[in-house]
A and B are shown apart, each in its own frame.
Chain A
């Protein structure tokens, strides 16, 4: 290379500095400032910002809504992981192993909800659950199960569970694609060998497919967990706003209400810190639980 050292540094600066500066201003600073704010009592622009030490954290431990929000978030995490993983694994296996002619059709259709906005999905499903004109209740009535009809999102017993279906509906496609990618990379001769050894398709699935696709399964689970803990409040905000009577309140929606509706910005930041700690801890624990020797093939 003909260029001088100086030229190289100028070019590096040109490439890296502007990006890192905006990243520092709009991502790193807000996160650090969020930690800092969690030690203050602050109602926003005009109010005084009082340093109160750990008081927000003490309040957090005593707040009766907080355990509910945590439980609701983890309920969504578990049901979504189970629902999405079971269905998307089934679809991925069926679409790769069965040689179905119309497989591309399913792939395109199943992925479509993944690119729809959560607002649209939320509003659409609010309609689907609508007690009077929704598909669910009118469908139940049509097949003679009218007594099972519920005001799904308005019922404290059913509201949280009702949020699972739209999330699974919107999530399947992506994980199906990831798993399909993994399955297509499994060498064909492994299945042939398993066939010769007399392994049935169920055994082949558990002994060949699952171990070899484990990296994709692990990534999918972690991805669902992270996106749920960090983003479940969006569907909650659109469909129920945390109601009825906090029955669907999750950590993020509670943060939003405390900070931007009640103007407890310091306490909101404390909830944010809790979300950060819980999601990082959950990811670390899961990574430990899901670790497995890498399979060579």
Chain B
């Protein structure tokens, strides 16, 4: 019986191990490819690089504009994350903690926006941004990013607001603190975990976004990493610059790996909670 159990446990491990390899191996293959010359990639796709040279990284960073796109992505990601928080935090507080008619309706409006395919809205959005002189602008893209994540952020933040004890707010009000003071001095520090969770989730979304950037950005000095990588991929098909492309991919993944390493718990929590209720 004991032996049988061990056998079952080992058997059930096989798919787990297989899937781990399926996830890890392509990523390692990509990183190793970044150090290989074109000849090596063609001759032996499976082998380790002969020497670890950083030439491909230099080529990707400078010749393929990955460097400037990297900085553009950082800018848009930070702008979008901060703006989104500025918009969603007070709204979440009001919806969760202040009694007013229509709070449920408002919440449901934001909630249903998470289900609607935004692709229909992209055509008018394109022309709207053009009218507002926000086309081909990282500022414009940052604003649009922030707004697209308002529903998700309101959704997650309201659930965190629900955990703040009401008594704290009441006693602060009795001490003469204004509602603004209560929101920013009492409630905000108490929902810091929620703020961090939402901000990381949003930052990852913005860092990874590709299609709106493809539509709304038009000159390569404004491109974010997603668009730049896509362009680089198309160029690499003609020039066979595979090593440089691998290097570009690696550069784009490194920040994600670092953030995941540090905030793994927050990300997992945000993903699961956001998804379960959505």
The one of B90, B106, B147, B207 in contact with A14, judged by C-beta atoms closer than 8 angstroms, is: B90
Q: Using known A-B contacts A37-B123, A120-B253, A283-B115, determine if residue A15 contacts B29 with beta carbons closer than 8 Å.
A: no
In this complex, what residue of B is CB-closest to A223? Answer: B275
Q: Which of A11, A126, A181, A237 contacts B211 (CB 8 A)?
A: A237
Determine if B3 is an interface residue (Cβ-Cβ < 8 Å).
no
Bound Cα distance from A110 to B21, whole angstroms: 10
A266 closest partner in B (C-beta): B123
Known: A19-B150, A116-B253, A268-B123. A132 touches B15 (CB 8 A): no
Q: Does B196 contact A (CB under 8 A)?
A: no
Asked whether, in the complex, the Cβ of A15 is within 8 Å of the Cβ of B98, the reply is yes
Q: Which residue of chain A has its CB nearest to the CB of B114? A: A226
Instruction: State whether the Cβ of A172 lies closer than 8 Å to any Cβ in chain B.
Output: yes
**A51 adjacent to chain B (CB < 8 Å):** no
Residue of B at shortest CB range from A18? B87
Given contacts A31-B116, A223-B275, contact A112 B124 (CB under 8 A): no
Asked if B91 is at the interface (CB within 8 A of a chain A CB), the reply is yes
Say yes or no for B24: interface residue by CB 8 A criterion. yes
Chain A residue nearest in CB terms to B30: A124
Q: Which residues of B contact A113 (CB under 8 A)?
A: 23
Residues of B within 8 A of A (CB): 9, 12-13, 15-16, 19-20, 22-27, 29-30, 33, 41-42, 45-46, 87-88, 90-91, 93-94, 98, 100, 106, 110, 113, 115-128, 130, 143-144, 146-148, 150, 154, 170, 173-174, 176, 178-180, 183, 204, 207-211, 214-215, 225-226, 229-230, 233, 242, 245-246, 249, 252-253, 256, 259-260, 264, 267-268, 271-272, 275-276, 278
Residues of A within 8 A of B117 (CB): 229-230, 252, 272, 275-276, 279
Q: Are A115 and B120 in contact (CB under 8 A)?
A: no
Nearest A residue to B200, CB-CB: A115
Which 7 pairs between the two chains have the least Cβ-Cβ distance? Answer: A272-B120, A30-B121, A117-B208, A33-B124, A15-B94, A15-B90, A230-B117
Picked from B124, B170, B214, the residue with its CB within 8 Å of the CB of A37 is B124
Q: Which residues of B contact A18 (CB under 8 A)?
A: 87
Contact B19 A91 (CB under 8 A): yes
CB distance from A272 to the nearest CB of B (A): 3
A84 within 8 A of B: no
Q: Which residues of A contact B (CB under 8 A)?
A: 1-3, 7-8, 11-12, 14-16, 18-20, 22-23, 25-27, 29-31, 33-35, 37, 45, 87, 90-91, 94-95, 98, 100, 105-120, 123-128, 132-135, 138, 142, 169, 172, 174, 177-178, 181, 216, 219-220, 223, 226, 229-230, 233-234, 237-238, 252, 255-256, 259-260, 265, 268-269, 272-273, 275-276, 279-280, 283
CB distance from A13 to the nearest CB of B (A): 10
Identify whether the interface residues of B are mostly helix, strand, loop, or mixed. Answer: helix
Chain B residue numbers with a CB within 8 Å of A45 are 127, 130
Q: Pull 20 A–B residue pairs with CB atoms less than 8 Å apart, ordered by A.
A: A1-B170, A2-B176, A3-B179, A19-B88, A23-B110, A26-B143, A30-B118, A33-B121, A91-B16, A100-B16, A110-B23, A115-B267, A117-B210, A119-B210, A123-B229, A127-B242, A174-B271, A178-B275, A234-B211, A273-B120
Cα of A3 to Cα of B210 in the assembled complex, Å: 47
Q: Closest residue of chain B to A3, judged by CB?
A: B179
Least CB distance from B213 to A in Å reads 10
Report yes or no: A133 in contact with B41, Cβ–Cβ below 8 A.
yes
Complex contact B19–A112 (CB within 8 A): no
Beyond contacts A20-B106, A94-B16: 12 other A-B pairs, Cβ-Cβ < 8 A, are A2-B176, A11-B94, A19-B91, A23-B110, A27-B147, A34-B124, A95-B16, A115-B267, A120-B249, A178-B275, A269-B123, A275-B117
Which residue of A is nearest B73, CB measured? A117
- Choose among B20, B120, B128 the residue that contacts A269 (Cβ–Cβ < 8 A): B120
Known: A87-B19, A120-B229, A275-B120. A12 touches B94 (CB 8 A): yes
- Distance in angstroms from A265 CB to nearest chain B CB is 5
Smallest CB separation, A174 vs chain B (Å)? 6
Distance to closest chain B CB from A207 (angstroms): 19
**Contact partner, A31, options B120, B127, B143, B230, Cβ 8 Å:** B120
Q: How far is the CB of B102 from chain A (nearest CB, A)?
A: 9
Q: How far is the CB of A179 from chain B (nearest CB, A)?
A: 10
In the complex, what residues of B have CB within 8 A of residue A128's CB?
Answer: 26
